[in-house]
Structure 1
Amino acid sequence: MPISVFSLMLVVFSLTTGEFVIVGILPEVADDLHVSISAAGILVTAYALGMIAGGPTVTVATARIGRKRVTTGLVAVSVIANLGSSLAPNYAVLLATRFVAGLVVATFFAVAITTAVSMAPAGRQASTVAKLTLGMNLGIILGTPLGTFVGQNLGWRATFVAIAAVSTVGLLLILRFLPDQPPTSTGSVASELRILLNRDVQLAILLTAAGNVGIITVFTYLAPLLTDVSGFGSGAVPVLLLVYGAGAVVGNFLGGWLADRALMPSLVGLLTVLAAILVVFWAVSGVQVLAVALTFVVGALAFAIIPGMQTHVISTATAAPTLAVAVNASGFQVAAALASWLGGRVIDSNALGLRSISLVGAALTLVGLAIAIFSARRDRVPVNEHALRS
């Protein structure tokens, strides 16, 4: 991995850790700031809302600035916001700093992905995206438990100091090794936003949201699925999440390799297999050995679809790829919020219940599959006919 790509991946790791680690230190935050656990949980929502709001707005505002300056500026804001979180004197200030920390995430992901892709050898764009999303994998399976350990032993404020420190290392590497590149756009704001009216771009963003909402629903409630349905003790959950994470790392690189060779066919195939595996998971989740094996497979498939989806957005939005990827990241967060809400409704339903989460996830994945098939067929339409349809 080139050091320039590694520096971007390191920041992705720290940003992902910052998004998810709050879940592991909620009791410590709630006790120290004298708020309820549910109120502390709103800190997760504040970060996500920052990503949703910041995706299009921050990207458009910075589109005419050189990419290296934008990247360093965004990381600097993240460092300051995380240090602010560590020093927050009360809940309101912490809520505000988590929102600010989230504001820069979608734009950083977008600029990092488009910058890395622009430096990638021909035919290796999706594999390069996979190297960046490895930072997401590691943030979930390594950064979050490490951050939780730090928070439980040194206090929750130390967790945010550690995240800021990792981001600072990434910032220094970016300053030293990332080549300077021109702005992502030199046109007007209106011309930048016009890309979002493109039917293919809309379909690509919709594919990311619809294709991921099913698996996010399952992942959100994976721990209770493994304990209440599969019968594992609570002590086994961290190990099983590592199994999921190991599958995610494998799937991430496999998905990038497949997408480089056949982008849309690989997405159609992976979504088909994912839907089928979720049905199997629903059927055999009570068998512990099979539940462990399928946890690995589900993790692999969940992350195998990401490099191809990101590359698909970039390939359809050549006029403004950074904005499209940023909006795509915001769409992913909307899907995550929908998944959490929908999963809760399924669990509370007398007709469905917790065990049906995997089946519901499969049904939702089929919606993403339908969009992928439609997009793949649309890609095969001759250029002149395609223009008429748009």
Structure 2
Amino acid sequence: MDLRVLLLAVSAVTVGLVELVVGGILPVIADDLNVSIATAGQLITVFALVYAVAGPVLLSLTAKVERKKLYLITLVVFLLGNILTYFSPTFGLMMAARVLTAASAALVIVLSLTITARMVEPRVRAKSLGYIYMGISSSLVLGVPIGIVVTNAFGWRSVFLGIAILTVGSIVLIAKFLEKIPNAKVQPLSVQLKALANKKIFFAHLATMFMLAGHYTVYAYFTPFLETTMKLSPYWISVFYFLFGLAAVAGGAFGGGLASRLGSKRSILIILGAFAISLFALPYSTFSIPLFIIFMMIWGGLSWALAPAQQDYIIQSDSVTSDVHQSFNNSALQVGIALGSGVGGVVFSQTGNVTNMPAVGGVIVIIAFLCAAISLSMAVKTRQTAM
């Protein structure tokens, strides 16, 4: 692996940890800051909303800044946000710190993707992007258990102090080993926003959004699913989450490798189709723990396998505005997470039956498959017209 890609992936892990790490320690934070758990939960909601909006906006506003310099400045802002979180005496100040870390984390992730795509050869681009997404997925799926363990040992504030220390390490390594990255052609913000009118790429964004929505319809309620269908104890549930996390971390690298071998367009349909099947099959494997683990890890691996192929496809489809589209796609991912969690909540409250959730998630992923197929068909028509 290119050392530069590895460093960007490590930075992606560092900034990605801050998003969901509070999920497992909300009661502790709420108690310390004298707010309800529901109020403390807004720390996650606000983060996701700011993250989704900030990526494309900040990328456009900073288009004239040299990429390495911007990356380092953004990491410093992220560092300050985590230090502010560590010292926050009130919920309001912590919320302000979350806005700061969300905006800077969004820009770091988008820069990691766009810099990687720009500095590697096209033949290894999808594979390299897969390593970045492996970093993103590992931070999202492992952030919750890491936060719980660290909080139990040292207190919840130490979680953010640890992230701050990791950020300092990333700043030093990026400053030393990453060369200056020349800017791409600067497009005005209005022009970049109009890029969404490109229906081919717009449907690609929808595919990303609906795939993550289908995934989180199940994953957000995975604990009650395991308790209801398999009668697992808390210990074994944590083991299953760990195994799922390992599969999800490997998924980004797998998706990038598959796209490098088969091409991004073919890989997108294969991954989406297989992902829908894995969700539909999940409830039928609960009678056997070994069989369920196999299906669960396939589901986990595929959950983050689409992103590298999707990013590479976007770059191929519109190289002029590819940076902002990579950012929009990352925002679509965040919207999909929020949408899936909401849909899962509605299904659970209306039916009270968690065994229905994988089927609902599978249907949503089929919608993602159709969106991807529409996008790919538009790309084919464009090439035929050009010929």
Q: Shorter chain as normaliser: what TM range?
A: over 0.9
What are the superposed Cα offsets for residues 125-157 of structure 1, whole Å, 9 maximum, x if unpaired?
Answer: 110001111212331344442232112221111
Aligned to 2:303: 302
Aligned residues: 386
For 1:235, give the aligned amino acid.
Answer: Y
- Secondary structure in 2 matching 1:381: helix
Report percent identity of matched pairs: 26
CA contact (8 A) 2:212 2:340 kept: no
For 2:331, give the aligned amino acid.
Answer: S
Tell me how far 1:284 sits from its aligned partner: 2.9
The TM-score, its normalising length taken from structure 1, stands at: 0.94
For 1:19, give the aligned amino acid.
Answer: E
Aligned to 2:268: 267
Question: What is the rounded CA distance, in whole Å, between the counterparts of 1:148 and 1:322 in structure 2?
Answer: 35
- Secondary structure in 2 matching 1:25: helix
CA distance 1:110–1:380, shift in 2 (3 Å): same
CA distance 1:136–1:20, shift in 2 (3 Å): same
Question: What is the rounded CA distance, in whole Å, between the counterparts of 2:170 and 2:108 in structure 1?
Answer: 13
Aligned to 1:69: 69
For 1:320, give the aligned amino acid.
Answer: T
Aligned to 2:146: 146
Aligned to 2:188: 188
RMSD of equivalent CA atoms: 1.8
- Give 1:229-268 correspondences, 5 Å limit: 229-260=229-260, 261-268=262-269
Aligned to 2:314: 313
Tell me how far 1:249 sits from its aligned partner: 2.9
CA contact (8 A) 2:269 2:369 kept: yes
Tell me how far 1:107 sits from its aligned partner: 2.3
CA contact (8 A) 1:205 1:313 kept: no
Question: What is the rounded CA distance, in whole Å, between the counterparts of 1:126 and 1:79 in structure 2?
Answer: 29
1:329 aligns to 2:330 (yes or no): yes
Tell me how far 1:105 sits from its aligned partner: 2.4
CA contact (8 A) 1:214 1:365 kept: yes
Q: Which moved more, 1:188-197 or 1:236-245?
A: 188-197
Aligned to 1:15: 15
The TM-score, its normalising length taken from structure 2, stands at: 0.95
- Give 1:39-54 correspondences, 5 Å limit: 39-54=39-54
- Secondary structure in 2 matching 1:63: coil
Q: Which moved more, 1:134-143 or 1:270-279?
A: 134-143
Question: Which ranges of structure 2 fall in alignment gaps of 5 or more residues?
Answer: none
Tell me how far 1:231 sits from its aligned partner: 1.5
- Secondary structure in 2 matching 1:127: helix
1:6 aligns to 2:15 (yes or no): no
1:225 aligns to 2:225 (yes or no): yes
- Secondary structure in 2 matching 1:380: helix
Question: What is the rounded CA distance, in whole Å, between the counterparts of 1:311 and 1:110 in structure 2?
Answer: 14
CA distance 1:187–1:53, shift in 2 (3 Å): closer
For 1:109, give the aligned amino acid.
Answer: I
CA contact (8 A) 1:275 1:363 kept: yes
Question: What is the rounded CA distance, in whole Å, between the counterparts of 1:267 and 1:332 in structure 2?
Answer: 15
Q: Which moved more, 1:123-132 or 1:241-250?
A: 241-250
- Secondary structure in 2 matching 1:123: helix
What are the superposed Cα offsets for residues 326-360 of structure 1, whole Å, 9 maximum, x if unpaired?
Answer: 1211121111111111100101113x721111000
Aligned to 1:293: 294
Tell me how far 1:70 sits from its aligned partner: 1.4
Question: What is the rounded CA distance, in whole Å, between the counterparts of 1:274 and 1:188 in structure 2?
Answer: 38
Question: What is the rounded CA distance, in whole Å, between the counterparts of 1:52 and 1:60 in structure 2?
Answer: 14
1:108 aligns to 2:108 (yes or no): yes
For 1:181, give the aligned amino acid.
Answer: I
CA contact (8 A) 1:79 1:167 kept: yes
CA contact (8 A) 1:253 1:304 kept: yes
Tell me how far 1:286 sits from its aligned partner: 4.5
CA contact (8 A) 1:184 1:320 kept: no
What are the superposed Cα offsets for residues 42-69 of structure 1, whole Å, 9 maximum, x if unpaired?
Answer: 1111211110221222111111111111
CA distance 1:374–1:28, shift in 2 (3 Å): same
Question: What is the rounded CA distance, in whole Å, between the counterparts of 2:218 and 2:315 in structure 1?
Answer: 27
CA contact (8 A) 2:286 2:292 kept: yes
For 2:339, give the aligned amino acid.
Answer: L
Aligned to 2:283: 282
Q: Which moved more, 1:126-135 or 1:320-329?
A: 320-329
